[in-house]
Amino acid sequence: MNLIKCFSILFVTLLLATPGMAADEAPNYLSVELGPAWQTKNDQRIPGTSGTTFSLSKMDPGPFFTYRLYAGRKFNNRHELRLLFAPLQFEIKGQFRSPVKYIGSDFAAETETTAFYKFNSYRLTYAYHFDPISQWELALGFTAKVRDAEVRLTQGNKLERKTNIGFVPLLHFQARRPLFADLFFRFDFDGLAAPQGRAFDAALFLERSFIAPAYTFFLGYRTVEGGANNDTVYNFAWFHYALGGVRASF
């Protein structure tokens, strides 16, 4: 069973959970987030100890079109479960300034090379919401993340790829505060660092309800940074997103 099918099953299960509860006690929500993303760093070296370091961000910094889909439910105004599908993939062309050894092949310098990058993220988050503190609404929890990654280089008839599907546990934090009228500031964070690597995903939003209270529109900035350094792979990337979107509660 692929990851998208697993995500769909979890989504349906989440929305059907505790069907006897009232909407104000366990509101569902769906959210879509859209916007361009730029990479200011995307360094690769495979194998990690003997490959050649090259930069995808220098080949093409972007922008690249991105989107995210969220589905969630709150229970008793305290507990929240949230699903996220965040695909990120693009294909770029460029030339290396010097020869690159990648996996089992040598890629020549000053020769057109196609690079494909994928880092799709599937996440399930649990958050506990605390009583408001001086108008701040705070929540703390954890996120189970599954990454589906691939880096592929093609030069003429030569092709090498590295794929990886792995699990990453992250801490989760939310903060929300009214600014005035129906305008709110919101901060959202998933992240954790360990000797094997790190992953950080942080976003700042301004959001406001329009048309009806059930619909919230938002604009913001997101930054995603992280990577790993071991004998098998060296990869550190840093992406920046200008985003907008809408959230519907029901």
Q: Scan for tokens 């604009």, then name that residue.
A: 219
Beta strand 215-229 with 197-209: parallel, antiparallel or unpaired?
Answer: antiparallel
* Cβ–Cβ under 8 Å, residues 202 and 187: yes
Segments making up each domain of the chain, as ranges = 3-249
Burial of 201 (0-12, 13-18, 19+ CB in 10 A): buried
Over residues 229-248, mean pLDDT: 95
pLDDT digits (tens, 9 = 90+) for 103-118: 989 999 999 999 999 9
Helix (H/G/I), strand (E/B), else coil: 179 = strand
Phi, psi of 3 (to 5 degrees): -70, -35
Smallest CA-to-CA distance from 43 within 175, 239, 240 is with 239
Q: What class does CATH assign to 3-249? A: mainly beta
CA atoms of 61 and 3, how far apart (whole Å): 28
DSSP state, 130?
P
Pairing, β 105-107 against β 113-129: unpaired
Max CA-CA distance within the chain?
Answer: 64
Check residue 226 and give its pLDDT.
96
Element (H, E) at 5: helix 3-16
Q: For residue 233, with 0-12 CB atoms within 10 Å meaning exposed, 13-18 middle and 19 or more buried, which class applies?
A: buried
Share of the chain above pLDDT 70, in %: 88
> What is the β-pairing status of strands 100-102 and 89-94?
unpaired
Confidence label for 8 from pLDDT (cuts 50, 70 and 90): low
Return the CA Rg of the chain. 20
Query: Is 47:231 a contact under the CB 8 Å cutoff?
Result: yes
Q: Is the predicted pLDDT of residue 19 greater than 80, yes or no?
A: no
- Which of 166, 67, 171 has the alpha carbon at shortest distance from 127? 171
Segment 47-69, tens digit of pLDDT: 998 999 999 999 999 999 999 99
User: Are the C-beta atoms of residues 144 and 167 closer than 8 Å to each other?
Assistant: yes
Structure tokens of 152? 């592929």
User: Which residue type does 92 have?
Assistant: I
Give the residue-averaged pLDDT of 163-189: 94
Average pLDDT of the chain, as a whole number = 90
